[in-house]
Structure 1
Amino acid sequence: MDTKKLRKELENRLKHPSRQFIFEREKDQLRIENIRTGQGITVELPGIVAKWHEQKDKAIDEVVYFVEEGLRAMGNSVSLTDNEQKIFPVIRSTSFPTTSKDDVTFVFDEHTAETRIYYALDLGNSYRLIDEQLLLEAAWSVERVREIALFNVRTLQVPLKEDEVAGNKFYFIRSNDGYDASRILNQSFLKEMEDRITGTMAVAVPHQDVLIIADIQNDTGYDVLAHMTMSFFASGRVPITALSFIYEAGELEPIFIMAKNKKK
C-alpha cells in the first residue's frame, strides 16, 4: 500500500454525488468536501499508510467511518446552548489550522511549544470544533467554553494500563473516547501521578487516542519512550507530536531525545 493506492481506495469508498475530492500533492493530503457547502474533512495519507501496514484494511475502515460520521455531523445544525456536558478540550499540534475552510476562526488556547488546545462539541460518533460562529450564535464567551471544557475533562475516568521496561514504568490511557490526549489537561490527575512517580516524570501525547506517562529511572527509559512515542505518532488517526515532555511543578517542557541514551 502506498499513498497513491490509498487515495484511490478512499475515493472509491467515499464517492457520492454531493462530494468532491481535492488532493494536495505537496502535503499528501486528501480532502473530502461537500460540493454545496464547502465543508469537508482532510486526511493525512502517509499516516494512514503507516497504520495500514500494521492493521491492514481495519485502518482504512476506520478512516472511512470517521469521514462519513464527520460529514454527516457537518450537515446537522448544532448549538452550544443546553449542551454544556458535551463540550471537551482536544489537543492538536501547533501546525493544525486555526481557521475552518470557511475562514472562521476556531476557539483555541496555546498549550506548549508543540501543542494547542482546541474545544469541541461532542456529537456522539464525531465532534465539531467550536469556532467563533458557534460562540456568536450562543452568545457565549471564550472563557465560558474553556471553563466548561476543563471541568468536563476532569470528570472523565482515567483507566491506567501499566508496563515496565528495564526498571522504567510506563502508564497508558487508551479509553478510545476521543479524549485520551485531552486528559493531559487534568491537573489533579497529573499531580496524583507526580506523587506516585519516584524517578523523572515524562508525558507524551503522540496522537489523539493515547496519553503516555513515564516514570524514568535511567537512560534506557528515555530511549524506550522515544521509540514508543514515534511508533504511536506514526500510527495515530490524529497525530499530535512525536516529542515527549518533562512534567515538573505543573509545567510541561518538551525534551529532545537524541541518538542513544542522550537527551537535551
Structure 2
Amino acid sequence: MKIDPEARPAARRIQKRGKVQKAHHIAGGKARGIVQLESITEVDCHNLCSLDPRVHEIYPQPVTFDLNTGQPFATKEELLARFQGTGYKPWVYTPDFKVVLIDGTIFFLEAKSEYTLSKQPEFLEYPSVFESFGQQLLLITEDEISPELKKNLGLLRPYIGRSMPEGLLPRLEASASNRFTYREAISELGFTQGELFTAILTGHLFLDLYSTALKKDTELLVFKGCTKHLELLPL
C-alpha cells in the first residue's frame, strides 16, 4: 500500500484490514519516500541494501509475476484480472524488492525468516524459477544478518547519502592517533555522532560492521575513503 506520495507504487497491498501482522513504516535509505514493509527481515534487508555502496536504488513490492511464464504485471490485481474467467491458474508472486546497482545490474530480493521457510519450503525453489526466465532472485534470511550488523544497520541508515561535513576529513587526519574509541572521538576529540556515522559510510572511518556493534568502547580506525567494507549484500 502506498502511504506517501513520494514513494513508488507497490504491486500489492502489504497490510489488510483485520490482519494481525504489523506493518513497518520506513523512511530514508535508497527507496523513495516512506515505504511500508511486512516483516523485520524485510526491514533489515531494506537497510542492508541502503548501506551497500553498490546499490543505486531499491523498489519495495515492485512488480507481480506469473511464475508459470515469467510474465510481469504492474499489480497483483492486474494479473488476477487478466486471467479471470479463463480457467487458467497463474502462479502469483510479488518479490519484496527490486534492486538496481550502480553498474545497472537489476535483481529481485526476497526476505524470508528461517521459520517461514520451514513452513513454506517452496520459496527455496524461487531463485531457480527466476533463473529459468532470465531473471535473478536473491533469497536472504535473518541468519545472513548478524545481531551486530542488524544493530549497525539501524544506527547508520539515517545518515546514508550524506556528504562528509566540511572540515571533517582534515580533523580526522590531524588526530594524534589513527585509532580511537567511539567514546574518545566524542568526549575528547569533539566529534558528533552524526560526523562519526557519516565518516563510516563514506569510508573515512572503519570497523567490521558484521561482527562489531557500534557502542561507546568500539574502536574506530581512520581509513582512506574506501567503502569496500560496506559491500555486505551476498552478491
**TM-score with structure 1 length normalisation?**
0.24
Tell which structure's C-alpha radius of gyration is larger: 2
Higher relative contact order (CA 8 A, sep 6+): 2
Report the structure, 1 or 2, having the larger strand content: 1
TM-score when normalising by structure 2: 0.26
